[in-house]
Amino acid sequence: MAVQRVHRTSYAVDVAAPAGVVYGLVADTTQWPLFVPASIHVERLDFDGVQDRFHMWATANGTVRSWLSRRTLDAGARRIDFRHELPAAPTTGMGGSWSVEPRGADRCRLVLEHDFTVAGDRPQDVAWVRRATDDNSRAELDRLKETAEQWTRLDGLLLAFEDAVRVDGPAELVYGFLYDVADWPRLIPHVARLDVTEDEPGVQLMSMDTVTADGSAHTTESVRVCFPHAGRIVYKQTATPALMAAHTGEWSVIPDETGVTVVSQHSVLLREEAVERVLGPGTTLAEARTYVRSALGRNSTATLELAKQHAENAVRML
């Protein structure tokens, strides 16, 4: 039996931020979709402070892949070792480490290393994995550096909120409205165009044109991961409006004894340097937060209300 060759990669970036700040960004996988460009969604399965096990969805060379991963965190050494339990094809093994090396009180070096094996060690597959690893790793380090260097202002750049609507109708009809996005242009007034593909069940790639209250149009691209049995759809915008460096969200359909509550959640990382360019000279970060909260909340609440009408009208017709 042939022994599989182990391929290795290593990447590093110097960061003008304390080592503890950088380690904290890497350690919290639940925030990766905001801070790591390729990361779409992280579903944490187990975490005890040292052992972290999760299901990850991420982009690789323009496709969406998913895998189970386990990490061991050593906060004292500022090192995290990881290994994929169920690697995504064509890899048969993938692992590595993150390490943060202090370079003074407010500087450090972030190092990311991988080792991987590929089924049959076919050159074209090795090249595919290496390209995806190179592109994603460099983008990860660049975005983590950018985010960490804003650490004194990061709380003001992060925005999270939710809106909810009560529905007197079946959860299945509400979920179906939110899932069947191909129908949205004819059902939702602020959606001018929407193209969706679903090559893998439950994973939707979506491109959408929306019209804001002032009549301007925005094009966004998103990846959605759907959990029909849990009544959840999580998503990440992979092409965002200028004000947002990252935007993730979730639609949740929660039934109870008397009806359904449908919730829209948003998490946003604002792009500080775009505030005055987009909203005008003198606009403050606080005003930008209010603007984004209002714009996103208005559209998502409109969608929730239409899902409510859809479900309740269908029940009355029956």
Q: For 175-205, how does the pLDDT look when each residue is reduced to its tens digit (9 = 90+)?
A: 999 999 999 999 999 999 999 999 999 999 9
Give residue 254's pLDDT: 98
Q: How would residue 315 be classed by pLDDT, with cut points 50, 70 and 90?
A: low
Q: How would residue 318 be classed by pLDDT, with cut points 50, 70 and 90?
A: very low
Give residue 39's pLDDT: 97
Q: Can you tell me the mean pLDDT for 68-76?
A: 97
Residue 97 CA to residue 82 CA, distance in Å, equals 6
Q: How would residue 2 be classed by pLDDT, with cut points 50, 70 and 90?
A: low
Nearest to 181 by CA among 114, 229, 251, 120: 251
Q: Can you tell me the mean pLDDT for 17-34?
A: 96
CA dihedral sign, ordered 186, 187, 193, 199: negative
Q: The tokens of 294 are what?
A: 């209002």
With a cut of 50, say whether residue 280 has pLDDT above it. Answer: yes
Beta partners for residue 193, in sequence order: 209
Q: Can you tell me the mean pLDDT for 49-58?
A: 96
Question: How far is residue 86 CA from its own chain's centroid?
Answer: 20
Give residue 218's pLDDT: 84
Nearest to 265 by CA among 229, 301, 241, 318: 301
Residue 310 CA to residue 317 CA, distance in Å, equals 11
Residue 200 CA to residue 198 CA, distance in Å, equals 5
Give residue 216's pLDDT: 74
Instruction: Tell me the three state secondary structure of residue 29.
Output: helix
Nearest to 272 by CA among 140, 150, 142, 144: 150
Residue 134 CA to residue 60 CA, distance in Å, equals 10
The CA-CA-CA angle for residues 67, 268, 278, to 5°, reads 135
Q: Position 138: which residue type?
A: R
Give residue 316's pLDDT: 60
More confident residue, 28 or 214: 28
Name the least confident of 78-82, 92-96, 125-129, 211-215. 211-215
266 phi and psi angles, rounded to 5 deg: -130, 140
| Tens digits of residue pLDDT in 197-249 | 999 999 999 999 988 777 778 899 999 999 999 999 999 999 999 999 999 99
Give residue 270's pLDDT: 98
Q: How would residue 3 be classed by pLDDT, with cut points 50, 70 and 90?
A: low
255 phi and psi angles, rounded to 5 deg: -85, 155
CA dihedral sign, ordered 235, 239, 244, 245: positive
Give residue 1's pLDDT: 44
